[in-house]
Chains A and B, each alone.
Chain A
Amino acid sequence: MKRREFLRRGALLAGGTLLSARVAFAHADPRSSRFVLVMLRGALDGLASVPPLADPDYAGLRRELALHPAGEAAGALPLDGFFGLHPALGFLHDCYGARELVVLHALASPYRERSHFDGQDVLENGTPRPHALQSGWLNRALAAAPARGAREAGVSVGQNVPLVMRGPASVTSWSPSKLVALDDETLARVTELYAGDALLASRLADALAADAIASGEGGEAAVTMPQAAAAGAKGKARYTEVVRAAAAFLRPDEGPKVAVFDTSGWDTHANEGGAQGLLAARLAELDAGLSMLRQELGPVWKDTAVLLLTEFGRTAAINGTRGTDHGTATAAFLLGGAVAGGRVIVDWPGLSRRALYQGRDLAPTLDVRSVLKGILAEHLTVPSRALELEVFPDSAAARALRGLTRT
């Protein structure tokens, strides 16, 4: 680490020899860099995923959902002594230990309202305003990046090409052939929608009961299977096709170097749970999916950076339905063999009433565009000028956060 730091500084001081120094000493050739963007749609609870265990106001705000300190039964996984990691994120914790995970906290996009649609639009279009552009920052970055040989620089894996990947650069896409299992959260909302309709409500209840019997859920297996193992198995199923496809596109040297896929089910308004429960199960699925991604990427994992982003965070305090509502700042994760990890990067604003944004949300102290600029500039060698002008218009205040990757 010390040596790498020294080399980096040396290279920077040498100025003109930066490029040759990189090729000679750096961890990976930037031309082989892979980047995966995972969108967490629905607003991930950053305070539950990366709990600030040592913050004096944390336990009081989260009450019965507060995670126990590391070392206690069902406690959080230890990070830097101040923050922990949700206990369902075992693979991410291993990455942290291997210095392949950077946790970013108290970060937010420029969006300050509370609509999922507009929040996701801002996160994807790369401007400060919803619907300001009909293309995404990742696509524009690919258009500005030096050509890497592949006909299509990026691939979108899933049922549609998300806004972040649309634009002037030619990208390819891949959809799973089968209809994937219906999202639990979507199903819960459909169930809610049928509450006032006796016929549809009872038909749906019948269908769900039949599905449960067919899949073995609710039988003896569910009783004997530990929750984590069950979630792991389910996550494997949910992410298997998508993760395998993304890795298959990224592995070959001549293929696309950038992939994007969506995840959903993070909108935890009710019964969010703590160490176990709704969010824990979702996080366990995601964790299992990422573990599989590492496995599937095999030898190119060392060249890969995977970024997990969500549109905004959730309220600092829990609500009347044991969940959390739409908030502002949240956490993000950057993992992979190319990541200069083992760090939590944060300017922690605190959780006191005075410190909270509008008296209710974790306050943002890091602009997500700073993180994106740093990754795009250093990992994908997108020219700084293009980042400022085309990729992130009106973002001068968000200076690139450097040193996130080893490339």
Chain B
Amino acid sequence: MVSSFRGLSVPVEADRAALAPFEVLGQRTWQPGSPAGWPDRSTDWDGASALMKRIRWADAVGARLGSRRDALQLAPQLLGANLSTATGEAVMHASSAAQALTLLLASPEFMRR
């Protein structure tokens, strides 16, 4: 997830509010609850509720940054060869720049990145 912020060029330190979505996701960015770090087993991430939280996070980031980022340009930069036709079209036909970024960040290939 931090890598997505890098991809979006968000000055994370400067905008603490941008970190709020991480709290919503149940993970505080730099403070894992265990020395083993954040769990990355798929069961921790792909539960229904966790998925919904990630979609809400994508929505929040889209709303906050979408009008200043071109999701059409970002799509190949963030996903490279993994970018699917379906995601590319969804981004292109989004009804606003904010929604375009949300769809990019909520796409199956971004979820599995």
B64 is an interface residue with CB less than 8 A from chain A: yes
With A160-B65, A193-B90, A200-B108 as known contacts, state yes or no: A42 contacts B96, CB within 8 Å. Answer: yes
Cα A183 to Cα B60 in complex, Å, equals 11
B98 is an interface residue with CB less than 8 A from chain A: yes
Chain A residues 188 to 204 lying within 8 A of chain B, measured CB to CB, are 189-190, 192-194, 196-197, 199-200, 203-204
A117 touches B100 (CB 8 A): yes
Total B residues in contact with A, Cβ cutoff 8 Å: 36
Which one, A42, A190, A200, contacts B103 given CB within 8 A?
Answer: A190
A210 is an interface residue with CB less than 8 A from chain B: yes
Which one, B48, B68, B90, B108, contacts A206 given CB within 8 A?
Answer: B48
A158 is an interface residue with CB less than 8 A from chain B: yes
Q: Mark A357-377, 1 if CB is under 8 A from B, else 0.
A: 000000000000000000000
With A182-B59, A185-B95 as known contacts, state yes or no: A203 contacts B46, CB within 8 Å. Answer: yes
With a CB–CB cut-off of 8 A, which chain A residues contact B99? Answer: 183, 185-186, 189, 264
B98 touches A264 (CB 8 A): yes
Q: Mark A140-184, 1 if CB is under 8 A from B, else 0.
A: 000000000000000000111111000000000001000110110
Min CB distance, A105 to chain B, in Å?
22
Cα A267 to Cα B90 in complex, Å, equals 13
Total A residues in contact with B, Cβ cutoff 8 Å: 41
Which one, B24, B102, B111, contacts A186 given CB within 8 A?
Answer: B102
A194 touches B59 (CB 8 A): no
Which one, A162, A182, A193, contacts B67 given CB within 8 A?
Answer: A162
Q: Mark B31-74, 1 if CB is under 8 A from A, else 0.
A: 00000000000000011110110011001100111111000100
B94 is an interface residue with CB less than 8 A from chain A: yes
Which one, B67, B72, B95, B100, contacts A160 given CB within 8 A?
Answer: B67
Min CB distance, B13 to chain A, in Å?
19
A193 touches B106 (CB 8 A): yes
Cα A309 to Cα B107 in complex, Å, equals 30
B86 is an interface residue with CB less than 8 A from chain A: yes
B48 touches A264 (CB 8 A): no
B51 touches A200 (CB 8 A): yes
- 9 cross-chain CB contacts under 8 A: A41-B95, A41-B98, A42-B95, A117-B100, A160-B64, A160-B66, A179-B24, A203-B47, A211-B52
Binding site for B on A (CB under 8 A): 41-43, 116-117, 120, 158-163, 175, 179-180, 182-183, 185-187, 189-190, 192-194, 196-197, 199-200, 203-204, 206-208, 210-211, 262, 264-267
Q: List 18 additional A-B contacts (Cβ < 8 Å) besides A182-B59, A189-B94, A193-B87.
A: A41-B96, A43-B95, A117-B72, A117-B100, A120-B96, A159-B64, A159-B98, A160-B66, A183-B59, A186-B59, A192-B90, A193-B106, A196-B86, A204-B52, A207-B49, A262-B96, A264-B99, A266-B95
The list of the 10 closest CB pairs from A to B, nearest first, reads A159-B63, A267-B95, A42-B95, A206-B48, A207-B52, A207-B48, A41-B96, A197-B108, A203-B51, A159-B64
